Structure 1
Amino acid sequence: MSTTTETRSGFSPRVALQKVGTSLSNMVMPNIPALIAWGIFTAFFIPDGWTPSEPLATLVGPTIHYLLPLLIANTGGRMVYEARGAVVGVVATMGVIAGSDWLIAQENAPALAKWVAEGNDSSTFSGLGQVHMFIGAMIMAPLAAWLMKKFDQVVQPRIPAGFEMLVNMFSAGILAFVMAVLGFFGLAPVVNWVMHLLSDGVNALIQHDLLPLVSILIEPAKVFFLNNAINHGVLTPLGITEAAGPAGKSVLFLLEANPGPGLGILMAYTIFGRGAARASAPGAAIIQFIGGIHEIYFPYVLMKPILIIAAIGGGMTGVFLNVVFHNGLIAPASPGSILAIMGVAARGDRLTILIAVFGAAVVSFVLASLFLRIGKQEDGDIAAATAKMEQMKGKKSSVAGALTGAAGDTVADSDADAHTGPIHKIVFACDAGMGSSAMGATVLRKKIRSAGFSDVEVTNKAISSLADEWDLVVTQKELADRAAQRTGSAVHVAVDQFMNSPRYDEVVELVRERNTAGEAPAAAAPAAAPAAAATGTHRADTPADAPADAAGEVMPASSVVLHGTAASAASAIDEAGQLLVGAGAVDEAYVAAMHDRERSVSTFMGNGLAIPHGTNDAKSSIRRSGMSFIRYDDPIDWNGNEVRFVVGIAGQGNEHLALLQNVAMTFSDPAQVEKLEKATSADEILSIFDEE
């Protein structure tokens, strides 16, 4: 695993804005399909639509005002604290929406009364319109989820056994209530004021024919990866508000998404460039224009920074033509592909939007060609420019391989250059996220903390729930490609088994190099106090959201077998699965899913241990968390590995993690494994796990 050492720097406004933009983008982007669906509702069913329908038009208002902000709130809360954060964030955001509506109703009331007193029909009154709380959702939901997370970190370790559900449910409900009230009276007035201010500013630019000037801000911001903060933080909410009005469309959706400026620059390089830059430009143009990945032209601008003038000129031309033709989109175009733009173009605007796009491309092409021809031009180190782009971005570009000729980090053995910053978030990913990955995370977490990096998060998840937010991802080799598809910007590490991989030491060394930049690491955290998983004590290294359960509930003595009868891996899976069925933890269908999991990826962990468990799809067959333990007198052949111990797992939520982590730590210690081999009773087995 190759590494690079980075020098720590102080606070950077650009980096801070990038982080804000990334957070905003991560909340909005997953919900773009819902925005497009709303745009289609609008295009077809409103009175001026393609196929007007009074009944179906009733979908338009509630969707834009309630559904879409709450979807964004759900995503934002989930980003911070998974399902628990999502629920609290959605309720809190509903308070902001209601508060905004109430304020507007109060402001409209005197004007409406006057309107009616003058003999006018109240149905013809047009006062202040609704403010759609996209910005409110982006602020309130993550804040509420963060407060929920901090509360749980303080309170959950102190909850008496048996009261976990009561405390968890009521604490989330009470916090959601409090945040909704605060949103109603506190955040709603602020967001209303901000949205009115921004809307007035945009309207002023349009009325004075100054809107093209925003390209002076947007085009350089794109190259420095600040576009998300502008696009998703300001332009998308304002554009949605405008598109929800009488016009049914908004030109604001076209300010940042226009692929014309980038296309012109890349075509200029295709004709007048040199070396690798010229050779790679045609392919980059296709990716940028058709695929909508604008970042692929950023390195070409960075090689010759004066080309930012060409991007600004093209952007201003596109905005000017769109304003002249009164163009607009009915919903955001994401990614900024010409195909996506045409898909959400307003009725009758497609031809004039194409004129604006190609007009922008022509102007940026002419300017870029001029700069390339009259200025001194070296062969162009596209690889160096791409590396500079990735350094500014803070992570690996998903399209860098198209420029540099690299195959890209699509397998878990990719080197550490896939992510260029410090390592703060590490995830172990497996198919179901309940067993092998949890044990691997426990082992590495202990190593990371022993090295003095207690601030590094080490957790586990199912691959299906991964988002591209992790700095480093550990997977089994068989699952590497699936994980890489979801986390392309992370460092990927492949292991044969999660229990005692030698690559964990390489990960620790990478963390040391990246997070200290030559400084001595902090003193190692004191060893966690022995926890009693079997008695419900919360371990110091257990994730804060993993409540501790008594082993008697998760792994009762009746689920511990000292002399297994199976002679093969398949029969051992049946034996472990039937113990789970007998304990009432799972249905029979779960045992079949355990075999499905084994056929796709081996559950051999190392040190003579296998932990068969079901696939992610089989979670509906789990009634409650449960574990079984079987020791075999003679080793079983487990896909070419010797296994003496089989631990069957069925995890529902995080209830089983405390005990599972104790199992992991036990099997990472040869002395403890020897005790397990010599144990003479189920109670003795449980007490050994209790020692960790």
Structure 2
Amino acid sequence: MSDTATAAKAPGSVRVGVQKFGTFLSGMIMPNIAAFIAWGLLTALFIPDGWLGSNSPIVAWQWADSAMLGGGTLADGTEATGLVGPIITFVLPLLIAFTGGNMVFGHRGGVVGALAALGVIIGAEGTVMFLGAMIAGPLAAWILKQVERLWEGKIRTGFEMLVNNFSAGFIGFFTALAAFFWLAPVMKWVTELLGGVVGWLVDTGLIPLASIIVEPAKVLFLNNAINHGVFTPIGSAQVEDMGRSLLFLVEANPGPGAGLLLAIAVFGVGAARATAPGALAIQFLGGIHEVYFPYVLAKPILIVGLIAGGASGVLTNVIFQSGLVAPASPGSIFAVLVQTAPGSHLGVILSVLISGAVTFLICAAFLLASRKRDLAADAAGGDGFADAVARTEANKGKSSAALSGLTGGATTTLTAPARTIERVVFACDAGMGSSAMGASVLRNKFKAAGIEGVNVTNKAIAALDGKADLVVTQQQLTDRAKQREQSAVHVSVDNFMNSPRYDEIVQLLLAQRTEGDAADAGGVPEAAPATRAEARAAAAETTGGDDDRVLSLGNVRIHEGAVSREEAIREAADLLEATGAVTGAYHDAMLAREQTVSTFMGNELAIPHGTNDAKDAVLASALTVIRYDGGVDWDGDRVTFVVGIAGRGDEHLSLLQNVALLFSDEEQVAELKKAQTPEELFALLRSVNED
């Protein structure tokens, strides 16, 4: 049985691994798309075959009139002051390398990564080094991270800046030399090999076959490894040589998705047909392609239409020798038209129209062939579209506003079970952070609504024992929870702090506990919120721990600027380690947790913590609270407060639940943001324990 289980898990683990790798590559490219766009516009305007042409007065204008600027033209990549060549040779790879290094080890990791990438760029002798930068940047930052672990926590106070600067300087020096002498020749060979293979596919007309891989990969969120790892680097190099590349449209062409959604809008049934027109606008005009993925998961045969449409679009660009000058991101028709190379508009527009038409015709045929069965399934309430949306978000690994909009922000309507709900469990991966806060918020709502006799607890998903009546999980974890608690009612939420589904749960329990008019009221009765003293008593009943040693004044900080999510997690981990609560391994567990499910809670709060496998790295319970007035981009959500958690036993839960009560009240959050000093912020955080 163990061999069978392993084999069953292997495909999923491979998919997740490829998805994480592609997400990492995308994380280096996407923040720098603006630079690609700027470079694409310069290329479209000023290269010899561009809109203005090499004889344009603007292109021919020499900078020599200014002694400070020297000579050169806007399009002349052979001169140091030309714009087009130096941007693709130096600026774009260095931006990519810095971003990759920053993802691995913060700002200093980005600086060291950029230095190492420069070694690859110079050593490659003119070859565009996007792939080299993608490797050198993160690798150099990782080396710096490993080296600094040797003396982590051992530097005397006052010498941290000196040691950090010199260690980064030496690592930058050695990695730049290593990249110049050793990595550059290897990456030059790899880049030329990949370019040759892609060139051969284009020359032989076989490049449309790439759609067989790309279109299914998109639906499973696996396309980033191909698109950003191969097509974007090689396509950018082709633009430097030819002024355009069709590779930018292999994955980003909005035509196939538009054709699919149009076919469903005309010939589909049920919720899929009702939501398809809105999804079409989001996909074709907004460029958010993921909105059509649930329609494919609900009816997998439609992937054939996407493949045929994608291949038709690529073939059209091959025939017309058309392409873009830079990546179209997001894949909106507007972005495609803006980045279309001079002289390529006919081919590009036809590639979008033809790919959409082919996909529409094939998908329409499949939909008509199964229409009778689909109508019967829809009448029986079993079209499965809502489940497909949930599976799409599970494939993505996080919630999505665009996808949630397809189901109105909720997965299903709660239906009262046969037995009375008395045991409610909030379940998350580790069971010590986000679930504890969610349980506290719902417990407070029950108290406000006058609901008694319900035990609300939090657990790790692995600890679910089949005794729960209702289980609340984040959307990405619901399927795992269902496997452990098969007889319970399952509720998926986008975050644990302020989900509207909590009111549905309250309404469900009220309906079970009242009769007559109360059961028919269909809403949550007005009631005063639980007082702080009552909230404190509820938390104390659950945990009974002493909070004084869990959160100390020294673990409360305020920063004026902004940082990245990785930098915020690093600071939270360092504070926890400095207090003796965790070992150095806990930081990696916090990052691993973030890759699985986001710890964003809502109301500008994130609570990064380790995975359930990191228990050995936790030595004691502790909380750290850091306020970033400049904000933190938490995978698309703005975070101001970062609460780092390390939990051993239950002694941290009382304070954590009280913090949850604070952040569930927007007025309280506003007060926390007004605190001028860490002392004031600490006092506000502890005020929930006062009667």
Partner Cα distance (2:584, 2:219) in 1 = 34
Q: Which amino acid is the alignment partner of residue 312 of structure 1?
A: I
State whether structure 2 residue 671 is matched by structure 1 residue 602.
yes
Number of the residue aligned with 2:89: 65
Counterpart of 1:305? Answer: 300
The one of 129, 137, 140 aligned to 1:141: 137
The aligned counterpart of 1:47 is: 48
Structure 2 residue 560 is matched with structure 1 residue 432:
yes
Matches within 5 A, 1:353-392: 353-375=348-370, 376-377=373-374, 378-379=377-378, 380-392=383-395
| 1:254-299 per-position Cα deviation (integer Å, ceiling 9, x unaligned) | 1111011111111111111110011001111111100111111111
Q: Flag the 1:71–1:444 CA change in 2: closer, same or farther, 3 A.
A: closer
Equivalent residue in structure 2 for 1:455, among 563, 580, 586: 586
- Matched-pair contact (CA < 8 Å) for 1:100–1:188: yes
Q: Is the 8 A contact 2:573 2:587 kept in 1?
A: no
Amino acid in structure 1 at the alignment position of 2:354? G
Other structure's SS at 2:600 match: strand
1:338/1:149 CA distance change after superposition, 3 Å: same
Once the two structures are TM-superposed, the CA of residue 348 in structure 1 deviates from its matched residue by 2.5
Q: Which residue of 2 aligns with 1:236?
A: 232
CA shift for structure 1 position 352: 2.7
SS of 1:313's equivalent? helix
For residues 303-339 of structure 1, what are the alpha-carbon distances to aligned partners after superposition, in whole Å with 9 as ceiling and x for unaligned?
A: 1111111000000110111111111101110011100
C-alpha deviation, 1:459, in angstroms = 8.8
Which residue number corresponds to residue 269 of structure 2?
274
AA paired with 1:381? G
Given that residues 320 and 347 in structure 2 are in contact (C-alpha distance below 8 angstroms), is that contact kept between their aligned partners in structure 1?
yes
2:121 corresponds to 1:97: yes
Q: Give unpaired runs (5+ residues) of structure 1.
A: 1-7, 102-129, 461-466, 481-491, 494-503, 529-539, 544-597, 605-609, 614-626, 628-644, 648-662, 674-692
Residue 500 of structure 2 corresponds to none
Instruction: Give the 3 Å change call, closer, same or farther, for CA 147–443 of structure 1 in structure 2.
Output: closer
TM-score norm. by structure 1 comes to 0.61
22 and 434 in structure 1: CA distance in 2 versus 1, 3 angstrom threshold: closer
Aligned match of 1:118: none
Aligned partner of 1:294 in structure 2 is: 289
- The correspondence for 1:472, drawn from 599, 624, 645, is 599
Shift of the alpha carbon at 1:188? 1.2
Asked whether the 8 Å contact 2:393–2:475 carries over to 1, the reply is no
State the AA in 2 paired with 1:373: L
Provide the C-alpha distance between the structure 1 equivalents of 2:623 and 2:281, rounded to a whole number of angstroms.
49
Match of 1:346 among 341, 344, 351: 341
Query: Which letter maps to 2:141?
Result: A
Which residue of structure 2 lines up, in the alignment, with residue 525 of structure 1? Answer: 618
How many residues end up aligned between the 2 structures? 473
Once residues 454 and 154 of structure 1 are traced to their aligned partners in structure 2, the CA distance between those partners, rounded to angstroms, is 13
Report the counterpart of residue 327 of structure 1 in structure 2: 322
Code of the aligned partner of 1:268: A
Correspondence 1:169 to 2:165: yes
- Decide whether aligned partners of structure 1 residues 184 and 542 sit closer, same or farther in structure 2, where only a CA change above 3 A counts: farther
What is the match of residue 522 of structure 2?
A: none
Structure 1 Cα separation of the partners of residues 208 and 258 of structure 2: 19
Distance 1:394 1:303 in 2: 18
Q: Distance in 2 between matches of 1:164 and 1:444?
A: 15
Q: CA deviation at 1:417?
A: 1.7
For residues 417 and 204 of structure 1, what CA distance do their matches in structure 2 show? 46
Residue 250 of structure 1 aligns to a residue whose secondary structure is coil
Task: Check the 8 A contact 1:93/1:136 in 2, yes or no.
Answer: yes
CA contact (8 A) 2:36 2:92 kept: yes
CA distance in structure 2 between the partners assigned to 1:164 and 1:541 by the alignment: 24
* In 2: Cα distance, 1:214 partner to 1:387 partner: 28
**AA paired with 2:251?**
E
Q: Residue 367 of structure 2: SS of its match in structure 1?
A: helix
Asked whether the 8 Å contact 2:397–2:597 carries over to 1, the reply is no
Aligned partner letter, 1:76: G
Alignment of 1:56 onto 2:120? no
Deviation at 1:193, TM superposition (A): 1.3
- Report the more deviating stretch, 132-141 or 396-405: 396-405
Judged with a 3 Å threshold, the aligned counterparts in structure 2 of structure 1 residues 418 and 171 are, in CA distance, closer, same or farther, namely same
Match in the other structure for 1:581: none
Cα distance between partner residues in 1 of 2:570 and 2:190: 48
Deviation at 1:81, TM superposition (A): 1.4
> Take 2:366 and 2:84, find their aligned partners in 1: how far apart are those partners?
48
- Alignment partner of 2:586: what SS? coil
Contact 1:276 1:381 in 2 (8 A): no
Letter in 2 for 1:81: F
Task: Provide the rounded CA distance (Å) in 2 between the counterparts of 1:46 and 1:443.
Answer: 50
Question: Displacement, 1:43?
Answer: 1.4
State whether structure 2 residue 257 is matched by structure 1 residue 262.
yes
* Structure 2 spans left out of the alignment, 5+ residues: 1-7, 61-72, 76-81, 412-437, 443-471, 481-493, 498-554, 626-666
Aligned to 2:22: 21
The equivalent residue for 2:474 is 417
Render the CA deviation track for 1:482-516: whole Å, top value 9, x for unaligned: xxxxxxxxxx66xxxxxxxxxx8xx98xx7xx736
Are positions 1:83 and 2:107 aligned together? Answer: yes
- For residues 44 and 557 of structure 2, what CA distance do their matches in structure 1 show? 42
Indicate if the aligned counterparts of 1:216 and 1:312 stay in contact, CA closer than 8 A. Answer: yes
Alpha-carbon shift at residue 541 of structure 1 (Å): 9.4
Contact 2:33 2:329 in 1 (8 A): yes
Return the match for 1:188 from 179, 184, 191: 184
What is the CA-CA distance between 1:382 and the residue it aligns to?
1.5
Given that 1:429 and 1:474 are in contact with CA atoms closer than 8 Å, whether structure 2 keeps it comes out as no
CA distance in structure 2 between the partners assigned to 1:168 and 1:456 by the alignment: 19
Residue 400 of structure 2 is aligned to residue 397 of structure 1: yes
Q: State the Cα distance separating 1:165 from its structure 2 match.
A: 2.5
Using the size of structure 2 for normalisation, the TM-score is 0.61
Which residue number in structure 2 is paired with residue 123 of structure 1? none
Shift of 1:383: 1.0
List per-residue Cα deviations over 1:81-138 (Å, max 9, x = no partner). 111111100001111111111xxxxxxxxxxxxxxxxxxxxxxxxxxxx321111111
- Partner amino acid, structure 2, of 1:301: V
Larger relative CO (CA 8 A, sep 6+): 1 or 2? Answer: 1
What is residue 589 of structure 1 aligned with on the other side?
none
8 Å CA contact 1:611–1:646 kept in 2: the answer is yes
Deviation at 1:200, TM superposition (A): 1.1
- Determine the C-alpha separation between the residues in 1 that align with 2:153 and 2:582: 24
444 and 148 in structure 1: CA distance in 2 versus 1, 3 angstrom threshold: closer
The equivalent residue for 1:12 is 13
Per-residue CA deviations over 1:591-635 (Å, capped at 9, x if unaligned) read: xxxxxxx9993248xxxxx9514xxxxxxxxxxxxx8xxxxxxxx
C-alpha contact (below 8 Å) 1:259/1:336 kept by paired residues: yes
RMSD over aligned Cα, in angstroms? 4.2
SS of match in other structure, 1:162? coil
Counterpart of 2:560, as a letter, is A
Give 3-state SS (helix, strand or coil) of 2:118's partner: helix
CA distance in 1: counterparts of 2:212 and 2:223, whole angstroms = 12
The amino acid that maps onto 2:388 is A
Q: Could you tell me which residue of structure 2 aligns to residue 515 of structure 1?
A: 612
Q: Please report how far the alpha carbon of residue 442 of structure 1 lies from its aligned counterpart in structure 2 after TM superposition.
A: 8.4
Code of the aligned partner of 1:140:
A
Q: Answer with 232-241 or 150-159: which moved more.
A: 150-159
Q: Does 1:30 align with 2:99?
A: no
Q: Matches of 1:271 and 1:228 in 2, distance apart?
A: 31
User: Per the alignment, do residues 97 and 341 of structure 1 end up closer, same or farther by CA in structure 2, a change over 3 Å counting?
Assistant: same
User: Which position in structure 2 is the counterpart of 1:612?
Assistant: 676
Shift of residue 356 of structure 1?
A: 1.2
Alpha-carbon offset, residue 203 of structure 1: 1.4
Identity, % of aligned pairs? 45
Judging changes above 3 Å, is the alpha-carbon distance between structure 1 residues 176 and 369 closer, same or farther for their aligned structure 2 residues?
same
Residues 263, 285 of structure 1: 8 Å contact kept: yes
SS in 2 for 1:345: coil
Partner Cα separation in structure 1 for residue 670 and residue 316 of structure 2: 56
